[in-house]
Amino acid sequence: RKEVEQDPGPFNVPEGATVAFNCTYSNSASQSFFWYRQDCRKEPKLLMSVYSSGNEDGRFTAQLNRASQYISLLIRDSKLSDSATYLCVPGALGGYQKVTFGTGTKLQVIP
């Protein structure tokens, strides 16, 4: 099983819609998780951190489900500028810092 798995999409949603995608992870010991955003031909940039049950930042909400070993990212009131690929990654575990990314989920917000 891969360390991190994501639906590659693309998710095509109209402006103003709410969209959510999940990321499953295999290591139950993971304590922290991160969502990165990557625009076309650009580098990934940190979007949100999740250390416990969840985190909210404006239109973005990240939630963690430890029982089912997945994290989700919810985007409300989608904007055209939200179009990007969203990558999830479990944080480094103490003493083991190999940071492995999922393949990413592509989001396209349509006018």
Partner 1 sequence: DAGVIQSPRHEVTEMGQEVTLRCKPISGHDYLFWYRQTMMRGLELLIYFNNNVPIDDSGMPEDRFSAKMPNASFSTLKIQPSEPRDSAVYFCASSSHDAEKLFFGSGTQLSVL
Helix ranges restricted to H, the chain: none
- Separation CA 7–CA 102 (nearest Å): 9
Residue choice 20, 39, 79, 99 for contact with partner 1 (CB under 8 A): 99
If one asks whether residue 101 binds partner 1 (CB under 8 A), the answer comes out as: yes
If one asks whether residue 97 binds partner 1 (CB under 8 A), the answer comes out as: yes
- Residue type for position 67: A
Q: Using the 8-state DSSP alphabet, how is residue 80 labeled?
A: G
Scan for tokens 């919810």, then name that residue. Answer: 74
Stretch touching partner 1 by CB under 8 A, among 9-17, 19-27, 52-60, 99-107: 99-107
CB nearer to partner 1: pick between 15 and 42: 42
| Half-sphere exposure of residue 75: CA atoms within 13 angstroms, side-chain side | 27
User: In angstroms, what is the minimal distance from the CB of 97 to partner 1?
Assistant: 4
If one asks whether residue 102 binds partner 1 (CB under 8 A), the answer comes out as: yes
Q: How many CB atoms lie within 10 A of CB 108?
A: 15
Residues near partner 1, by CB under 8 A: 32, 34, 36, 42-46, 49, 87, 91-92, 97-104
